[in-house]
Amino acid sequence: MELIFEKSKPGRSSVSIQQSDVPATDIDTAIDKKYLRTELDLPEVAEVDLIRHYTNLSRRNFGVDLGFYPLGSCTMKYNPKVNESAASLPGFTGLHPYAADKMAQGNLQLIYEMQQYLSNIFGMAQFTLQPAAGAHGELTGVMMIKKYFEKQGEKRHRIIIPDTAHGTNPASGALCGFETITLRSNNEGGVDIEHLKSLMTEDVAALMLTNPNTLGLFERNIEEVSRIVYGKGGLLYGDGANANAFLGIARPGDLGFDVIQLNLHKTFSTPHGGGGPGSGPVGVSKSLIDYLPVPQIVKTADGYQWSDNFPDTIGRVRTFYGNFNVIVKAYTYIRSLGAEGLRHATEMAVLNANYIKEKLKPYFDLPYDRVCMHECVFSGKRQVAESGVHTTDIAKRLIDFGYHPPTIYFPLIVPEAIMIEPTETESKETLDAFCEAMITIACEAKENPQILKDAPLSTEINRLDEVLAARKPDVCWKKT
Ligand SMILES: *Cc1c(COP(=O)(O)O)cnc(C)c1O
């Protein structure tokens, strides 16, 4: 496809407006010449060509509104459009971020209520909505853990993180100055209890646990895990990015977690294509409440107000009060579904993942054959052994069948991992069609492996040199 620059013809324009009857000013005398650039080389095209160019480009994109998007770990679920209409109400979009509390009572009420809903759903004492995404929420949570031990007059240097964790977990620990140590998984895909016992000392500030973990498996020994961590005075951090698997069914607060972060842009249905915007609320138990970021919203006789009056706070982690529009969408999702609806969403998400797991089990290696939660993890090991076809080839071939590939090569403990998260909104017909495509690909791998190695065949560009694209990205067009 031609670039917009290549479509350019000198003198062509996207506007035709009448000659101005305002006398022209001599630009050379009006402003300092050094600010004038002459060699801009902007494309010159007619309006219709401009519109077609970008519309055609957008049609080459893929999103959850176009087709099935079974990306594991990073819930890419369908976002009901009612969330968008609520978030675009002028009272939300038009408010100045510096507006006085008195003039923003409705918006403050929404934030306040959202904190309460989340506290109820997750069984935590209090939430902050300030962090901008999951990883930022983790950082905020670990900062609070650090402050907690400072206040206790204790110096702890380590954080334990399972080998299935998302890469942001060790990054958040390290950013706060902790040494991160890796906890092995057992052959069931859960925490290796003996290994945890050997790692858990009085130098460990916290265990950062994702439950269900990134294998889509619920940690069966969670009570014992928390006993071991508490036994040495440590805290339990919960990575809540997989909350789509337990809304209305289990509450991290009841399971013993002291702090969790959520990803509203995953679990609570707000679009985050291209990486943002997100929202990463952090919930804490009573023991960490004093360290929450400021400002915090308080309800007084005069209405809702922001307050900085929390002496032990870790301070501010973001300008203003978080990604407000994302919060409005998540709030709308919670209000429109209600408690029953949230629980039903989770039940369907888990049912759909297990349906796919059972249907594909005869064709792909399933390293942990247990009832899964919201996602299931296969391995492409069998295909590698049989025909030298790798997981990446399977993923690329799925594009030709009209599906976004699932997450691959994660979690790291599964060789040739293929991680599928169907989410709750997909119909049985969609799941069946996807499984059919996967089964066809498994057959192709045996009979015609070359077609997988050449895939995708239906796209503008086939395979990028991913290393070169990451190390030396060439994104600049130069006139020749
Ligand atoms: C997505 C994800 C994160 C990071 O969240 P971001 O919003 O992308 O920063 C952390 N942990 C898990 C398990 C995740 O899936």
Read off the pLDDT of residues 112-125 as tens digits, 9 standing for 90 and up: 999 999 999 999 99
Kindly state whether residue 153 falls inside one of the protein's structural domains. Answer: yes
Name the residue of 168, 209, 246 whose CB sits within 8 Å of the most ligand 1 atoms, as the mutation to test its pocket.
168
Q: Exposed e or buried b for every residue in 230-254, given b needs 16+ CB within 10 A?
A: eeeebbbbbbbbbbbbbbbebbbbe
In the predicted model, is pLDDT for residue 34 greater than 90? no
Greatest CA separation for the chain: 84
The CATH number of whichever domain residue 351 belongs to comes to 3.90.1150.10
Domain end residue (candidates: 283, 306, 336): 336
pLDDT tens for 172-197 read 999 999 999 999 999 999 999 999 99
Kindly state whether residue 38 falls inside one of the protein's structural domains. Answer: yes
Tell me if 262 CB under 6 Å of ligand 1. no
Residue 464 confidence (pLDDT): 86
DSSP characters over 117-144: HHHHHHT-SEEE---SSHHHHHHHHHHH
In the predicted model, is pLDDT for residue 95 greater than 70? yes
Q: Among 64-78, 132-146, 288-302, 327-341, which is the least confidently predicted range? A: 64-78
Residues 319 and 351 occupy one common structural domain:
no
Residues 312 and 381 occupy one common structural domain:
no
Name the residue of 239, 244, 246 whose CB sits within 8 Å of the most ligand 1 atoms, as the mutation to test its pocket.
239
Q: What is the mean pLDDT of the chain?
A: 94
Residue 277, preceding bond cis, omega within 30 degrees? yes
Tell me if 239 CB under 6 Å of ligand 1. yes
Residues 114 and 231 occupy one common structural domain:
yes
Tell me if 210 CB under 6 Å of ligand 1. yes
Domain with 108 in it: 81-336
pLDDT tens for 392-433 read 999 999 999 999 999 999 999 999 999 999 999 999 999 999
Total number of domains constituting the chain: 3
| Distance (Å) from CA 155 to ligand 1 centroid | 28
Residues 94 and 50 occupy one common structural domain:
no
Residues 332 and 383 occupy one common structural domain:
no
| Cβ neighbours for 147, distance < 8 A, ≥ 6 positions apart | 291, 312, 314
Query: Kind and range of the H or E element at 226?
Result: helix 222-231
The two tokens of residue 426 are 């997909």
- As a whole number of angstroms, the distance between CA 83 and CA 178 comes to 39
Residues 183 and 318 occupy one common structural domain:
yes
Residues 53 and 135 occupy one common structural domain:
no
Kindly state whether residue 39 falls inside one of the protein's structural domains. Answer: yes
Residue 272 confidence (pLDDT): 80
Kindly state whether residue 148 falls inside one of the protein's structural domains. Answer: yes
Using CB atoms within 10 Å of the CB of residue 473, give its burial: 0 to 12 exposed, 13 to 18 middle, 19+ buried: exposed
| Distance (Å) from CA 220 to ligand 1 centroid | 22
In the predicted model, is pLDDT for residue 155 greater than 80? yes
Q: What angle do CA 417, 244, 123 make, to 5 degrees?
A: 130
Residues 322 and 426 occupy one common structural domain:
no
Kindly state whether residue 480 falls inside one of the protein's structural domains. Answer: no
Residue pair 441/451 in contact by the 8 Å Cβ criterion: no
Residue pair 229/206 in contact by the 8 Å Cβ criterion: yes
Please tell me the residue having the least CA distance from ligand 1 atom 5.
134
The CATH number of whichever domain residue 221 belongs to comes to 3.40.640.10
pLDDT tens for 221-270 read 999 999 999 999 999 999 999 999 999 999 999 999 999 999 999 999 98
Tell me if 214 CB under 6 Å of ligand 1. yes
| Distance (Å) from CA 243 to ligand 1 centroid | 11
Residues 411 and 439 occupy one common structural domain:
yes
Residue 247 confidence (pLDDT): 97
Residue 24 confidence (pLDDT): 83
pLDDT tens for 340-384 read 999 999 999 999 999 999 999 999 999 999 999 999 999 999 999
Tell me if 278 CB under 6 Å of ligand 1. yes
Kindly state whether residue 270 falls inside one of the protein's structural domains. Answer: yes
DSSP count for the chain of H helices, then E strands: 17, 12
In the predicted model, is pLDDT for residue 35 greater than 80? no
185 — phi, psi (to 5°)? -90, 150
- As a whole number of angstroms, the distance between CA 308 and CA 337 comes to 34
Domain end residue (candidates: 301, 336, 371): 336
> Position of tokens 């650090």?
146
Q: Which atom of ligand 1 is nearest to the CA of 263?
A: 7
Residue 274 confidence (pLDDT): 67
Name the residue of 71, 73, 211 whose CB sits within 8 Å of the most ligand 1 atoms, as the mutation to test its pocket.
73
In the predicted model, is pLDDT for residue 126 greater than 90? yes
Tell me if 45 CB under 6 Å of ligand 1. no
Residue pair 82/336 in contact by the 8 Å Cβ criterion: yes
In the predicted model, is pLDDT for residue 275 greater than 80? no
Q: What is the mean pLDDT of residues 326-331?
A: 96
| Distance (Å) from CA 169 to ligand 1 centroid | 9
CA distances from 245 to 225, 283, 417 (A): 20, 18, 20
Q: What percent of the chain has pLDDT over 90?
A: 84
Kindly state whether residue 240 falls inside one of the protein's structural domains. Answer: yes
Kindly state whether residue 465 falls inside one of the protein's structural domains. Answer: yes
Residue pair 214/167 in contact by the 8 Å Cβ criterion: no
Local structure of 150: helix, strand or coil = helix
- Residue 279 CA, distance from chain mean position: 9
- Closest to 72 in 3D by CA, of 271, 282, 266, 261: 266
Residues 245 and 157 occupy one common structural domain:
yes
Q: Which atom of ligand 1 is nearest to the CA of 74?
A: 15
Tell me if 241 CB under 6 Å of ligand 1. yes
Residue 373 or 1, more confident: 373
Residue 344 or 74, more confident: 344
Residue type, 320: F
| Distance (Å) from CA 459 to ligand 1 centroid | 29
Q: What percent of the chain has pLDDT over 70?
A: 99
Residues 312 and 364 occupy one common structural domain:
no
Residues 39 and 6 occupy one common structural domain:
yes
